[in-house]
Amino acid sequence: MYEQFYQLESDPFRLSPNTKPSYRHDSYNYAKTYMLYSLRQGEGVVLVTGRPGTGKTALLRDVIKSIDSESVVTADLVSTQLQAEDLIRMIAFSFGIDKLEGDESDLLKELEQLLTGIRNFGRRTLLIIDEAQNLEPKSLKKIELLMALRWKTEPLLQIFLIGREDLHETILAHNLPLLKEQIHAVISLKPLDENHTQEYIKHRLTQAGWEDNKPIFDSEVFPQLFNYSHGIPRLINLICSQLLLHGMTENHRQIGLSDVNEVLMQMRNDQILPSPLRHT
């Protein structure tokens, strides 16, 4: 709706991930670099954690896009779709095994043969599990079985577990010695600081065809946007989407502090925003 009013090519603050380049702040760049580095080094398990809305899914898609499919065979799963008794079967299916009948031990042997064959041809195998904080203890035990599979001295399968901040604590809380031993890094995707929040907003607008500062954002707007979004990209998108909708409704080509405060007050009354970082 407001795209036409502000002469934008697309919605800059849509909540669902899009195919346009992500805003690559320091925390994002470090996480992506280390994930790709660990893959090249043949390390076992890497945890990537972060608060909801900090961009883990966008990071994951970016990493997958950056992986050379000719050298790495990747399986990408979401843990909310997985029951413990189906985990090995779903992983085997994702790597191309379509005969899933029989005992789990037999399927595990078939998976080991497949992964060994891939490795013998000079390719690596990577399993990515998103929303991994939802994995049951029984599912984590299954991952231990996978980590026991070896190619020479290396893990036969590398694993990225993507989840919320408490993912590492969840794993540490259970008796999983092999899995704990194979965790080589815990990478935390941090919220944006105040300066990066402003850069993020301008990045999203630019990706949507922002020209001639239409709409114009007054400079005092950005501290308030950071204060109420906590620097979390999903909340920034939510607030800015409501803000541009408000601007269109009020026929405002320039977004000022009064516009932001009105939108924030309404969103706070609707209980869809956290408390501000500092009182204003």
Instruction: Confirm whether 168 is domain-assigned.
Output: yes
Whether the CA torsion 185, 42, 56, 137 is positive or negative: it is negative
Q: Give the mean model confidence (pLDDT) for residues 118-123.
A: 91
Residue 42 Cα distances to 72, 119, 126, 251, angstroms: 11, 11, 10, 56
Neighbour tally for 90: CB within 10 Å: 15
Instruction: Confirm whether 279 is domain-assigned.
Output: no
Look up residue 162 and give its DSSP letter. E
Please tell me whether residues 216 and 171 are part of one structural domain. no
Q: Please write the tens of the pLDDT for every residue from 152-180.
A: 888 899 999 999 999 999 899 988 888 99
Q: Please write the tens of the pLDDT for every residue from 213-245.
A: 789 999 999 999 999 999 999 999 999 999 999
Tell me whether strands 158-163 and 124-130 are parallel, antiparallel or unpaired: parallel
Pick from 189, 210, 238: which residue ends a domain?
Answer: 189
Pick from 163, 189, 215: which residue ends a domain?
Answer: 189
Gap between the Cα atoms of 124 and 70, Å rounded: 9
Instruction: Confirm whether 174 is domain-assigned.
Output: yes
Query: What pLDDT shows up at residue 178?
Result: 87
Which string of b and e fits 176-207 if b means at least 16 CB within 10 Å?
beebeebbbeebebbbbeeebbbebbbbbbeb
Number of domains making up the chain: 2
Q: Please write the tens of the pLDDT for every residue from 202-216.
A: 999 999 999 877 899
Structure tokens at 46: 């890497």
Instruction: Confirm whether 15 is domain-assigned.
Output: no
Helix (H) or strand (E) run with residue 138 in it: helix 137-147
Burial of residue 86 (number of CB atoms within 10 Å: 0-12, 13-18, 19+): middle
Query: What pLDDT shows up at residue 15?
Result: 79
Structure tokens at 16: 């669902």
Please tell me whether residues 151 and 231 are part of one structural domain. no
**CB 236 within 8 Å of CB 17:** no
Query: What pLDDT shows up at residue 65?
Result: 87
Q: Which of 258, 257, 259 minimizes the C-alpha distance to 248?
A: 259
Q: Please write the tens of the pLDDT for every residue from 44-81.
A: 899 999 999 999 988 988 898 888 777 899 998 887 66
The three-state secondary structure class of 155 is strand
Q: Please write the tens of the pLDDT for every residue from 18-43.
A: 656 788 888 999 999 999 998 888 87
Residue 63 C-beta-side C-alpha neighbours within 13 Å: 30
Q: 262 vs 79, which has greater pLDDT?
A: 262
Pick from 147, 173, 189: which residue ends a domain?
Answer: 189
Instruction: Confirm whether 217 is domain-assigned.
Output: yes
Please tell me whether residues 101 and 157 are part of one structural domain. yes
Q: Which of 54, 42, 69 minimizes the C-alpha distance to 235?
A: 54
Please tell me whether residues 242 and 214 are part of one structural domain. yes
Q: Which of 88, 84, 118 minimizes the C-alpha distance to 103?
A: 88
pTM recorded for the entire structure: 0.88
* Mean per-residue pLDDT over the chain, rounded: 89
